[in-house]
């Protein structure tokens, strides 16, 4: 007897597939159809069972997912459908994967040969429990969610990004959907991270370490529900003096169990009033995402933008001890032809400005200004010959580069160099060069203003940089 048992609509499957399955003649509908269902989801409209006789052989045709787990269920399906617990299989290998040309959207069919007799269908529906097809992407998501549920915030971000990169290996259409889903989960977690400076006043003097390290705390969420984030990489950036020049230096530190990372500022050999900057270091995350195709690159930029906003700045002040060290000053100004300008604008302004800034500064009136054009060793001998073996010597020269006139106005341009030596060690502790332009109604005033303004600029730099 040819018996066709349909569950939901086999006809829908036959129409939707790319090639034609075996033709089954119309069969009478049994009173109680066999059902193939999963315990968790409704029966898909492409799932069904069909009995078929061909050339004296008996077959059970099962349509459904091409997942290999279906093959393991066929024996149970035949047993329940035929009611014969000892019905032998004609061929134990007769369960096969569906034909490649009869697969569409991961749906296909199996044709299983069995031996008669076959009992009439039972009075109640036969249920073949089919496990939900395993979606690896959902497993990755569940694993990342589990990490987040344990409170491992950074571990969850890593797990979501790892799932996003694995999704790129899925078929193109599926990967382009899965990647944003996983990536946005990671982005949502990062969006709720906060960086805050542990309250403290950071102030010291040149040559003296700060009383405490600079501390930054990372938390997830805000308010009473906030959680400290351990193992968060923070990049600390500061300005340090190297080879006599200020350069930006950085160091990455990891937060402890309380979510705090502590940065120890090197003992400063310079004075400054600046800020230390701490940001979330995402280099490790970006390395995971190097294989992201171009069309998904905007999401990477959104991560960089977001983490760039997760920063904190900590102001600090390093006072120069140089203000307590006696400073002996000598300076010479020269005109365009090399003649000495007798007004001594640079020297007078330097000493006045240094004194106003808190320095112990005085003019060394016993220095022959002509010596200031000599080499540094010769200039220092002039101080040492006066018995000055402690404190510091500040000296230099200014030159009028040019003076132009237009519309009854004069514009003077001057260039200058200032050096500071420690008299005890005879070592150079500071050097700077500069230039200035000023305009006035007469030539002398224009030159005088340019020299004075340049001297004030020098002192402003000394306040920040003189050790």
Q: Cα–Cα distance between 10 and 38 in angstroms, integer?
A: 17
* Range list of H helices, 317-366: 345-356
Q: Do 194-319 and 322-465 agree at the fold level?
A: no
**Sequence-separated (6 or more) residues with CB below 8 Å from residue 120:** none
- Bridge partners, residue 57, by sequence: 54
The phi and psi torsions of 213 (rounded to 5 degrees) equal -70, 160
**Strands 233-242, 311-319: parallel, antiparallel or unpaired by DSSP?**
unpaired
Nearest C-alpha neighbor of 415 from the set 398, 392, 428: 398
Q: Cα–Cα distance between 236 and 252 in angstroms, integer?
A: 6
Q: Class assignment of domain 194-319?
A: mainly beta
Could you tell me the residue ranges of all domains in the chain? Answer: 10-129, 136-191, 194-319, 322-465
H or E, element range at 362? strand 361-363
pLDDT (tens place) for every residue of the chain, 467 residues total: 333 333 323 332 333 333 344 444 444 443 333 333 333 333 334 445 556 666 666 666 655 554 555 544 555 555 555 555 444 433 333 333 443 333 334 445 556 565 555 444 444 444 444 445 556 777 888 888 899 988 899 999 999 998 888 888 877 666 677 888 888 999 999 999 999 999 999 999 888 999 999 999 999 988 778 899 999 999 999 988 777 677 888 999 999 999 999 999 999 888 788 999 999 999 888 888 888 888 888 888 899 999 888 899 999 998 878 888 999 999 999 999 999 999 999 999 999 999 999 899 999 999 999 999 999 999 999 999 999 989 999 999 999 999 999 999 999 999 999 999 999 999 999 999 999 999 999 999 999 999 999 999 999 998 877 87
Q: First CA to last CA across the chain, in angstroms?
A: 104
**Fold topology of 322-465:** Rossmann fold (3.40.50)
Sign of CA pseudo-dihedral 256, 258, 259, 261:
negative
Please say whether the beta carbons of 249 and 237 come within 8 A: yes
């Amino acid at each position: 007897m040819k018996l066709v048992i349909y569950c939901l609509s086999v006809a829908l499957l036959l129409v939707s597939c790319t090639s034609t399955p075996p033709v089954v003649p119309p069969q009478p509908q049994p009173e109680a159809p066999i059902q193939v269902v999963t315990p968790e989801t409704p029966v898909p409209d492409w799932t069904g069972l069909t009995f078929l006789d061909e050339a004296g052989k008996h077959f059970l045709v099962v349509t459904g997912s091409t997942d290999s787990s279906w093959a393991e269920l066929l024996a149970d399906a035949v047993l329940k459908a035929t009611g014969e617990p000892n019905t032998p299989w004609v061929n134990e290998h007769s369960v096969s994967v569906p034909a490649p040309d009869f697969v569409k959207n991961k749906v296909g069919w199996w044709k299983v040969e069995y031996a008669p007799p076959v009992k009439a269908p039972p009075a109640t529906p036969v249920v073949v429990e089919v496990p939900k097809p395993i979606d690896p992407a959902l497993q990755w998501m569940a694993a990342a969610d589990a990490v987040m549920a344990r409170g491992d915030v950074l571990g969850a971000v890593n797990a979501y990004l790892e799932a996003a990169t694995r999704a790129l290996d899925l078929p193109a259409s599926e990967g382009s959907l899965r990647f944003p889903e996983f990536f946005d989960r990671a982005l949502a977690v990062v969006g709720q991270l906060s960086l805050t400076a542990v309250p403290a006043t950071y102030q010291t003097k040149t040559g003296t370490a700060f009383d405490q390290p600079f501390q930054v705390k990372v938390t997830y969420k805000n308010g009473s529900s906030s959680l400290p984030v351990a193992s968060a990489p923070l990049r600390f950036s500061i300005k340090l003096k190297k080879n006599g020049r200020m350069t930006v230096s950085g160091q990455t530190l990891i937060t402890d169990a309380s979510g705090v990372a502590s940065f120890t500022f090197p003992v400063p050999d310079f004075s400054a009033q600046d800020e230390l900057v701490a940001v979330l270091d995402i280099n490790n995350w970006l390395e995971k995402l190097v294989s992201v195709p171009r069309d998904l690159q905007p999401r990477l930029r959104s991560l960089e933008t977001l983490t760039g906003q997760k920063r904190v700045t900590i102001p600090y002040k390093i006072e120069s001890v140089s203000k307590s060290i006696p400073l002996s000053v000598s300076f010479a100004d020269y005109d365009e032809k090399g003649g000495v300008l007798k007004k001594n604008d640079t020297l007078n302004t330097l000493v006045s400005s240094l004194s106003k800034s808190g320095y112990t500064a005085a003019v060394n009136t016993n220095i022959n200004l002509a010596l200031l054009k000599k080499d540094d060793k010769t200039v220092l001998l002039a101080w040492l010959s006066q018995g000055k073996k402690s404190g510091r010597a500040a000296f230099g020269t200014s030159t009028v580069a040019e003076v132009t006139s237009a519309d009854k106005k004069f514009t003077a341009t001057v260039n200058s160099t200032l050096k500071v030596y420690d008299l005890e060690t005879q070592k150079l502790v500071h050097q700077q060069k500069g230039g200035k332009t000023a305009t006035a109604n007469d030539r002398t005033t224009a030159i005088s203003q340019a020299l004075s303004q340049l001297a004030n600029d020098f002192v402003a730099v000394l306040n920040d940089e003189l050790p």
